[in-house]
Structure 1
Amino acid sequence: MHLPLRQVVAVAGLVALLAGCGGAPAPSAAAPTGQAQSAAPAPAEQLTAQPTAGTPRAIASGLEVPWGVSFLPDGNALVTERETARILRVTPSGEVTPVGTVAGVQARGEGGLLGIAVSPGFATDRTVAAYYTSGSDNRVVALTVAPDGTVDGAAQRVLVDGINSGSVHNGGGLAFGPDGMLYIGTGEAGQRSPSQDRDDLGGKILRVTADGAPAPGNPFGTPVLSLGHRNVQGIAFGPGGRVYGAEFGQNTVDELNLITPGANYGWPDVEGVDDREGFTNPLLTWPTDEASPSGMAAAGGALWMSALRGERLWQIPLTADGAAGEPRALLDGQFGRIRAVTATPDGSALWVTTSNRDGRGSPGPDDDRIVVVPLS
């Protein structure tokens, strides 16, 4: 039986910032406290002024399960294809050019070439990070973009390896934070137990340096930032550098979590809101048929969370202190399964990818597509 559309946890003050981040904004979050409440959004007067989503338009079609999207400084985007292991360069006008194939990718089930993140220092280091499923694990590697825009997918520098892999729950979320650190969302590969094992990289949100070392200030002195996750594919950063993670539930609810360093989000002992000691409640939950969240982005004072099974895009308004207002469903049923959502560098639009050719959708003749949603 599904719970109500959403549950909001009362939010208290900020936790202390992580130490040792060289003065850059560190991951912080408000600690959920008290009883979960149904349909109790943050008061409208506390919400940041919200952008309006304009008419969506497809700019690219015929792609093979596009998974991750990350923008280059020149305004073009790099897009991964899960099945083919290709990296595509896509211009704002929709011109698609394959620029490289990542070696070692073994696409099986939900695994393959997943997230991608352009280095914040790209102008000098020419580096992008990519998350993929190999024959033995999930791993994150650094790749170099040549001056001509091509990527040698065989010339890899391993940042993090040994992440659990399987036919399901491979995670794949990848994003550089405002503190310059690389955040990685992992899954428990259907094994359940890794999520509660602090020494296992599965079922976690990881935070590492650009070289793959545990980031300064991490709570356990390891790459682990938070634990007790089932499958994290979307990571985004809100006001004050707060970290949010989108998480697939099992049969009851999917979650939006506001990440506190060192916190345990409950899986597999807890799904959704439980108020059990030692576990942190989600900020919001949805019935699984209305979400199955994958990508997530922040723009215009809101989080934007894609929904695979829900076939929609959720706009989640935020307050200045990181609390959430009433979510609003966009693109409901218009494009099928929605996988990635990424804000353009100037925040004027979202790029959204479909995932109708992933074996669980009903692809049309133009799938899969990249859709641009203007914001005003």
Structure 2
Amino acid sequence: MRKWIAAAIFALGIFCFINCKKNSTTTPPIEPGDATLTDVVLTQNLNFPWEILWGPDNMLWITERGGKISRVNPADGSVTPVITISEVVSNGEGGLLGMVLHPDFATTPEVFVAYNYNKAGVYTKKIVKFTYNGTTLINPVVLLDNIPASNIHNGTRLAISPDKKLFITSGDASVSSRAQDKTNPAGKIQRINLDGSIPADNPVAGSSLWTFGHRNPQGLVFVGDRLYSSEHGQSTDDEINIIQKNRNFGWPNIEGFCNTSSEQTFCAANNVAEPIFAWSPTIAPSGIDYYNNDAIPQWKNSLLLAVLKDSELLQLKLNAAGDKVEVVNTFYKGTYGRMRDVAISPQGVVYIITSNGGGADKIIKVSKE
């Protein structure tokens, strides 16, 4: 009898272990009408890719921090180098970072990139516009220069608004006081015209400043004319923000919400915008994109967020107004390592780049079965 009871307890333990492990994931169960997802490795042997985007030429465009820009065929994963920018200097998390293509690329084949380099011995970031000639990038034009850089906290995502303004995120470049200094371009989101000139309706005449008080914003995406950003906190309060003209996003005085007495005082006096969502402890959020395709119906009206420290893809389901995160679902946690950025094709296929280093980075393709 004792042996029978012991065997039954052992069997029950095995059953519980298997099912508890199965149910420990935050990946939601498939509901009626949901698409079943499949994930495959499209491309391998990349080295610290930073940006991935879907080009109007129906190719994926990527940057790697060492200075390389490539086009990737989404059908077979083959990589075609476009250019290696020799001026790029990759220190720590710095190097060749954000990239965006002109919205009228077929008639105006311009490529906007942001990278770090040594300027008279000072590590610096600049924004450069190139022309794509069908093979490589030519005719570099510097649009913005003298942005402080560091081996950490460079931010550096680019996005173009529907009215064709270029938005640039910049971290505090490891000096937190810069974020509240409106005369310093670090710790800011900047806005310029596509020719590098300053829009007349920017908050400060003659300045590229759009918002300030940022620590390290590494995600940026327009949904219509609304701009969302993801931002790294220090030890608490990673954030999702809606970027609003001339608002202060608080760093280093505020972390996350205005929820202590000292923070409430600062927020009231300094026009601080609170995040729409925050994580404590931190997860290290990076690139984001917006999903609203019928291919994966359960992801419609969601931000998809690549996460570094927690090595996962997050679905942030928005409410109908788009100003709140209603549901957070986790996918591929620990499967592919650190995730850096996300791109979405017009057909609703999702592409994720990893950030593990050592030439082992990949592009992951996620689609319905």
The 3-state SS of whatever aligns with 2:107 is helix
Q: Distance in 1 between matches of 2:196 and 2:361?
A: 32
Aligned amino acid, residue 43 of structure 2: A
Cross-structure match for 2:204:
220
Query: Structure 1 residues 216, 57: closer, same or farther in 2, change over 3 A?
Result: farther
Q: CA deviation at 1:52?
A: 5.0
| TM-score (normalizing by structure 1) | 0.79
Q: CA deviation at 1:55?
A: 1.4
Q: CA deviation at 1:288?
A: 4.3
Cross-structure match for 1:44:
none
1:246–1:296 Cα contact (<8 Å) kept = yes
Q: Distance in 2 between matches of 1:307 and 1:132?
A: 22
1:91 pairs with 2:84? no
Cross-structure match for 2:295:
none
The 3-state SS of whatever aligns with 2:137 is coil
1:201 pairs with 2:202? no
The 3-state SS of whatever aligns with 1:334 is coil
Q: Distance in 2 between matches of 1:371 and 1:53?
A: 16
TM alignment of 1:126-165, pairs within 5 A: 126-136=109-119, 137-147=124-134, 149-152=135-138, 155-165=139-149
Q: CA deviation at 1:179?
A: 2.2
Q: Deviations over 1:5-56 (max 9, x none)?
A: xxxxxxxxxxxxxxxxxxxxxxxxxxxxxxxxxxxxxxxxxxxxx9757211
Cross-structure match for 1:262:
246
| TM-score (normalizing by structure 2) | 0.81
Cross-structure match for 2:302:
302
Q: CA deviation at 1:219?
A: 2.1
Deviates more, 1:52-61 or 1:301-310: 52-61
Q: CA deviation at 1:309?
A: 0.5
The 3-state SS of whatever aligns with 2:213 is coil
Aligned amino acid, residue 144 of structure 1: T
Cross-structure match for 2:367:
374
Q: Distance in 1 between matches of 2:47 and 2:348?
A: 26
1:51–1:375 Cα contact (<8 Å) kept = no
Q: CA deviation at 1:69?
A: 1.5
Cross-structure match for 2:225:
241
Q: Structure 1 regions of 5+ residues with no counterpart? A: 1-49, 358-362
The 3-state SS of whatever aligns with 1:193 is helix
1:325 pairs with 2:334? no
Q: Distance in 2 between matches of 1:116 and 1:52?
A: 31
Q: CA deviation at 1:174?
A: 0.9
Q: CA deviation at 1:216?
A: 4.2
1:203–1:227 Cα contact (<8 Å) kept = yes
Q: CA deviation at 1:280?
A: 1.6
Q: Distance in 1 between matches of 2:309 and 2:55?
A: 30
1:351–1:370 Cα contact (<8 Å) kept = yes
Cross-structure match for 1:349:
349
Q: CA deviation at 1:339?
A: 0.3
2:150–2:173 Cα contact (<8 Å) kept = yes
Aligned amino acid, residue 341 of structure 2: A
2:318–2:327 Cα contact (<8 Å) kept = no
- Runs of 4+ aligned residues of structure 1 deviating over 6 Å after TM superposition are none
The 3-state SS of whatever aligns with 2:326 is coil
Q: Distance in 1 between matches of 2:84 and 2:136?
A: 10
Bigger share in strand: 2
The 3-state SS of whatever aligns with 2:45 is coil
Bigger share in helix: 2
Query: Structure 1 residues 52, 297: closer, same or farther in 2, change over 3 A?
Result: farther
1:53–1:373 Cα contact (<8 Å) kept = no
1:101–1:151 Cα contact (<8 Å) kept = no
1:281 pairs with 2:265? no
What is the aligned counterpart of 2:39 among 47, 56, 68? 56
Q: Distance in 1 between matches of 2:149 and 2:164?
A: 27
Q: Distance in 1 between matches of 2:210 and 2:34?
A: 31
Cross-structure match for 1:46:
none
Query: Structure 1 residues 255, 139: closer, same or farther in 2, change over 3 A?
Result: same
Q: Distance in 2 between matches of 1:53 and 1:74?
A: 28
What is the aligned counterpart of 2:160 among 163, 176, 192? 176
The 3-state SS of whatever aligns with 1:305 is strand
1:315 pairs with 2:315? yes
What is the aligned counterpart of 1:124 among 93, 107, 112? 107
1:139–1:160 Cα contact (<8 Å) kept = yes
Query: Structure 1 residues 288, 177: closer, same or farther in 2, change over 3 A?
Result: farther
Q: CA deviation at 1:172?
A: 1.2
Query: Structure 1 residues 272, 209: closer, same or farther in 2, change over 3 A?
Result: same
How big is the alpha-carbon RMSD for the aligned residues of Structure 1 and Structure 2? 1.8
The 3-state SS of whatever aligns with 1:195 is helix
Q: Distance in 1 between matches of 2:213 and 2:45?
A: 37
Q: Deviations over 1:153-194 (max 9, x none)?
A: xx4201111111111111111111222211111111001111
Q: CA deviation at 1:249?
A: 0.5
